[in-house]
Structure formats: C-alpha cells, structure tokens
Amino acid sequence: MADRRRVNGPGGITVPPIYEAEDLPLPDRSRQPNGIRAQYLKTGVTPSASGSAYLEIEPQNGSVSKGMKLTCTVHGPRSLPRSAPFSPHMVLSTHVKFAPFATRQRRGYLRDSSERDLSTHLETALRGALIADRWPKSGVDVIVTIIEGDQARQVAVEQGIEEWDMMNVLGGCITVAAAALADAGIDCVDTVSGGVAALVPGKDGEEPVMVLDPVPSEHEEILAACCVAYLPSRDEITNLWLKGSLSSDANLQRMLIARAVHASKGSSQAVAASLTEAALAG
C-alpha cells in the first residue's frame, strides 16, 4: 500500500542506475593505522531548537571514502504530555534517520530496522552521560539526521559491508549528539564521544593489525570491529558494540576496546574545541 501522504512517483518499478563494469579503485588506506580522519564540528546550526550541532568527517582524497555529514537537534527538556505516566527523571528519546540521498541506494522515508538499531545504541550511549534526575517529569528529544553516509562502493559489494559501516555512523551520531546536548545546556557528567577501531588482515598475509576509524571500503575485509561511547574525563564507557570473529584470546578484545577508546579521544577533542569556540563567540 503506497503512502498517500507523500508523493510516490510512478507506479512501475524504478531502478537505480546500473553502471557498466569498471575497475574499482583498489581498497587502500592512506592514513596511519592510528590516524583518524579530520572532523569538523559546529554547534548552533538550528537556532529554533534548544541545541543543535553539525558534524562533518572529511572525505579522503583519492580514496573511495566520501566522508560523512550529520546534523543533530535537541528539543527540551520540556514537560511530558499529560497522558504520560509519572517519571522521576528525564525521559530521553532518540531518533536516527538517513536522508534518502545519504547512501548509494535511495532510502525510503519510513524508518528501517538499522535506523531503529542505531537509535537504541545512541540512547544507551547518551543515557549514561546525562544527569537525568535533575529534570523529573520532563522529556528531551534527540534527532540525528544523516545527510551523507559513508557508503561509496558498488552496490553488490556494499551489501556485505553495510553492517560494518553502521559502526562508523554510530560513532558520528554519538559525537554529534553529545555536542548538541551540550549546546542545549543539558547537564551531563561529561561530553561523551564515539570512536571506532577494527581488526583487519595485515598486508601480504602478515599478522592482523588494528586500525582506528576504519572505512570499510578501504579494506578488503574486516575481521572484527568495536564502537565505544566514551567519557574521557571519567574514563568510563557508556555503550560498547563489538562484533566479528576474534579468537578466544581475551587480550585481543581488550586491545580492540582500548584502540576504540583511543579513537574516541580524538573526536572528543573536536567536541571540546567546537564548544570552546561557541562559548567564546558568545
């Protein structure tokens, strides 16, 4: 059943352009294993919201990665509707949405399961940082819109790596939402920031190596990846998402988490810099 509240287009099937075969640029990572991509963060992009932020992760020159662009708005704290049951602390609701033009394949307007999944992860990440008891009986909405996603590869290949890509998107969502929460003046114990690390096979059959801020299309294969939401000044993790095939060696998992924390320290600097700049500007 077509959604009659939107313009739906022709009744027949439309297909995204199918390109003639072409040599794809070989996956290659030009950054150091411990280097993250440059981030640009700006707060106050939506003046009518309580708080807002815009995050841009720079595209890589000569690489298949096209960078990422996200905006986040925060509305509240405001009183809950009368029908809502009593809540002794703030009710946080998060919403993550890809714009239809954000990915290689056009996305619909209805939220799909991966977007709901991201919302849930984001909610856990932020809940650990908020001091929710200060606002009883109130609610706050955090809305993240992904204007441009990272996926930039052939559709067939993309299907396999999409799940890895979600981690990068989540890392960006956490960072941008933390900046927007700070811009809204909602008390947090610390600004939370997201970071991603991955275990990839080494070159020429060498030992697997750990890289920070992995771009899935820059690697042939990703063995395991980890995304953390980290509070730098308290040294705490509020959300941890690790998947992939790791050997039972607990040390390896600990290492991967440590690398992800290291990556999140990099984005936390971007948050701090942009918030200081906003505070200085008035």
Partner 1 sequence: MAPTAGLTRATFAKLSPHPYLLANLEPSSDDVPPARSNGRAPNEVRPPTVNSSSLSHAHGSAVVRMGDTTVICGVRGETILTSNIPSFRASNNETELREYDLLVPNIELATGCAPQFLPGGPPTTLAQTLSTRIYSLLHSSKVINPDNLRIWHTGAEGMTANEDRMEDDAPDAIEGEKVVAAYWVLYIDIFFISFDGNPFDAAWAATMAALRDTKLPRAWYDADREMVISSRKESIPITITNIPIACTAVVFTGKETDRPSVDGKFWMLVDPDRLEESLCDESVTIVVDCKDGDTRILSISKHGGTVLTPTLLTSKQFLSWAGKRWEEFNLAIVQP
What would the x/- binding string for partner 1 be over residues 232 to 251, using CB under 8 A? --------------------
248: which residues sit within 8 A by CB, 6+ positions away?
none
75 binds partner 1 (CB under 8 A): yes
Q: How far is the CB of 176 from partner 1 (least distance, A)?
A: 13
Q: How far is the CB of 151 from partner 1 (least distance, A)?
A: 8
Q: How far is the CB of 25 from partner 1 (least distance, A)?
A: 12
The rounded distance, in Å, linking the Cα atoms of 263 and 228 is 9
Name which position in 32, 47, 207, 281 contacts partner 1 (CB under 8 A).
47
The rounded distance, in Å, linking the Cα atoms of 272 and 163 is 29
What would the x/- binding string for partner 1 be over residues 80 to 119, using CB under 8 A? ---------------x-x-xxxxxx-x--x----------
Beta carbons of 75 and 64 less than 8 angstroms apart: no
Of 192, 199, 158, 153, residue with least CA distance to 176: 192
11 secondary structure, DSSP code? S
The rounded distance, in Å, linking the Cα atoms of 209 and 167 is 18
Which residues of this chain interact with partner 1, rule CB under 8 A?
Answer: 5-20, 22, 45-49, 52, 59, 66-67, 69, 71, 73-75, 95, 97, 99-104, 106, 109, 141, 143, 145, 147-149, 151-152
